[in-house]
Structure 1
Amino acid sequence: MFAQDLKVQLNINIGEEVKLKCRNNTCISGNHCRELLSNDKKAFLKLCDGKRQGWNSQLKKENRLHHCEFYSPHPVFYWQPMKVEWLASDPKVGQFIEFASREELHALWDHAPKAFRSQVVGTNKTTIKSDVRTGTQSWFPDNHWITKRLSLRIQNLINMNYETSDDWQIGSYGIGGHYSVHHDYFEKDYAQSQWFHKRGYHNRLATFMIYLADVELGGYTAFPRMNIFVKPVMGNAIFWTNLHSDGEGQNITLHGGCPVLLGNKKIANKWIYYGGQMLRFPCLDAFRKP
């Protein structure tokens, strides 16, 4: 009954997000927007139950993956390869097993600045408190030994320059805490007015999320358009790309944080920007504009 009550509340919150997106005209039309996000909402809630919808996915068949390997993309991993489960190839989605040690996770959590109530971007391009995202967060810059260590590990692992990235976002979600479906990349109108765009960073190319604690029940990271969900396990991390190689958003990366039903979900997010990756993430011929 408790879990059902949380779903009802999540239903309401996602409904509010549908209205927001429709008001911002990010869909073809109001009716199309409501229908599209309603289907996403239903798929998201199913994934939050730990149930995939067969192969009901917008991923192209050739981009669907589900295989594991020992991964050594850089010499630092030769002596101890990283264990990875690849879930999709375009956009690239992978889960890294035992990415960080318990000591590193405790250090990241203990040294992070004081947390505050989570915020989202409002209709007037300001940050506001919202029921769409319930939890606390803080921002931890790359000037501490633990953040530098983990950022460099990410750079070597996914071959992306962390110097053009956000500070670490440390988040916590208690029972009932969730984040409704959303994209990590920003809409063009908003992005063009922000500091990162003025510096030439452009937009969020990739997301790297570390799970700092186990969650007994719920709290999955779910991608309704790709029919993918990942269970939060302490020390594991999930990585995905948000943009095509030409810098345009990958609409299929819509995702959300499922309600925590039992436990406390703790995460650390690192968003890496498109700017600064020209030698590491070149524009493919298929996306080149004439």
Structure 2
Amino acid sequence: MQQVSAELVEWLQNEIGRGCRPEVLIESMIKAGYEADFARNVINASFASLEALEGKRPNVLGANLEGTLKINTDPLPGNFIKTSDRDVQVLLNMQSPRIMLFGGLLSDEECDGIIEFSRAKMARSHVVDSDAGGTREDEARTSTGAAFQRGETALHTRIEKRISELLGWPVEHGEGLQILHYNIGGEYKPHYDYFHHDRPGEAEQLKTGGQRIATLVMYLNDVEAGGGTIFPELGLETMPKKGNAIYFAYGGMDGTLDSRSLHGGAPVERGEKWIATKWIRQRPYQLT
């Protein structure tokens, strides 16, 4: 069922015309048996096509704009994914669980700019308090960090738009960028990024934007030794390289969660490590 048939196009045109939201259409497709990534690409391309016809956004997803909605859902034109301002290389593409390693997502100047803008805001990193709610310090996470609102600067806005185009998921569904810095010995022990419904403090986080469904970790500098992103259940480690990024999905619109997404940041052995993290939510995310 991973093809765009005439029947699917007709259904999409009707449902979009009725005002259905993208996340509702994605969930409907998944329930009908379509693979989640395919459904997201189709729906995102559909809305991009219609908005481009209305002059609201560029046609960055390859949709055909000649009157009838025709969708190009191929996420990999060659070994690159084209966004409106940058071609991003695909270095690793794992289907299950869904993990992709991107090359050149950020330029050197963008990496340096994020670091310099963040330095004055850095403070000891916290974790979500699973029982009491809010956040707290924890020895499992030994970094310093700075959190930003979506679109806080022109640089943040440009990067967030690129991420949205790359992943096929609306900007509004992303949390603001979180910048993290690790010195020698700094690490983040294996953990999950999604929230557990049965833990009061984590359940509280679901009230704004719903569940986290995916994570994108962007490497802002080259680390001399150590500091890789590890996936213990998979025997996988990706090493930091300036401008590259690791993406992994773990949540479905139907509420399913993939425990194979257990991951951590290995200790830095030499040098230092800077990363920027973007968490993706089920629904639009906005702090009040």
TM-score for both structures, normalised by structure 1: 0.66
Contact 2:128 2:202 in 1 (8 A): no
The one-letter amino acid of 1:193's match is: E
Q: Residue 84 of structure 1: which of 73, 83, 90 is its match?
A: 90
Contact 1:205 1:274 in 2 (8 A): yes
Q: Residue 116 of structure 2: which of 107, 110, 114 is its match?
A: 110
Contact 2:82 2:88 in 1 (8 A): no
Partner Cα distance (1:90, 1:68) in 2? 21
Structure 1 residues 234 and 105: CA distance shift in structure 2, 3 A: same
Q: Residue 193 of structure 1: which of 204, 211, 214 is its match?
A: 204
The one-letter amino acid of 2:203's match is: Q
Structure 1 residues 216 and 69: CA distance shift in structure 2, 3 A: farther
TM-align CA RMSD: 2.1
For residue 205 of structure 1, what is the aligned residue in structure 2?
A: 213
Contact 1:69 1:85 in 2 (8 A): no
Task: Decide which moves more: 173-182 or 98-107.
Answer: 98-107
Partner Cα distance (2:134, 2:164) in 1? 31
Partner Cα distance (2:77, 2:95) in 1? 13
1:276 shift after superposition: 4.4
1:35-46 alignment runs, 5 A limit:
none
Q: Residue 180 of structure 1: which of 176, 189, 196 is its match?
A: 189
1:1-290 alignment runs, 5 A limit:
69-72=78-81, 76=84, 81-112=87-118, 114-122=121-129, 123-141=131-149, 142-188=151-197, 189=199, 190-194=201-205, 197-199=206-208, 201-276=209-284
Partner Cα distance (1:237, 1:68) in 2? 19
Partner Cα distance (1:273, 1:216) in 2? 33
Partner Cα distance (1:270, 1:137) in 2? 13
Contact 1:68 1:85 in 2 (8 A): no
Higher Cα radius of gyration: 2
The one-letter amino acid of 1:118's match is: S
Contact 2:81 2:89 in 1 (8 A): no
1:215 shift after superposition: 0.5
1:68 shift after superposition: 11
Identity, % of aligned pairs?
A: 33
1:73 shift after superposition: 5.4
Partner Cα distance (1:217, 1:236) in 2? 16
1:245 shift after superposition: 4.0
Partner Cα distance (2:121, 2:231) in 1? 30
Partner Cα distance (2:235, 2:264) in 1? 12
Task: Decide which moves more: 252-261 or 99-108.
Answer: 99-108
Whichever structure has more strand as a proportion of its residues is 1
Partner Cα distance (1:236, 1:275) in 2? 26
| Deviation readout 1:163-196 (Å, 9 max, x if unpaired) | 12211100000000000000011111334323xx
| Deviation readout 1:203-223 (Å, 9 max, x if unpaired) | 111111110111111001000
Q: Which ranges of 4 or more aligned residues in structure 1 deviate by more than 4 Å?
A: none
The answer for unaligned runs of 5 or more in structure 1 is 1-66, 278-290
Structure 1 residues 69 and 260: CA distance shift in structure 2, 3 A: farther
- Counterpart secondary structure, 1:91: coil
1:246 shift after superposition: 1.6
| Deviation readout 1:231-274 (Å, 9 max, x if unpaired) | 00111111111213423221110000000000101000010101
Partner Cα distance (1:276, 1:116) in 2? 27
| Deviation readout 1:30-63 (Å, 9 max, x if unpaired) | xxxxxxxxxxxxxxxxxxxxxxxxxxxxxxxxxx
1:98 shift after superposition: 1.2
Contact 1:69 1:84 in 2 (8 A): no
The one-letter amino acid of 1:116's match is: A
TM-score for both structures, normalised by structure 2: 0.66
Partner Cα distance (2:233, 2:82) in 1? 29
Q: Which has the higher contact order (CA 8 A, sep 6+)?
A: 1
The answer for unaligned runs of 5 or more in structure 2 is 1-75
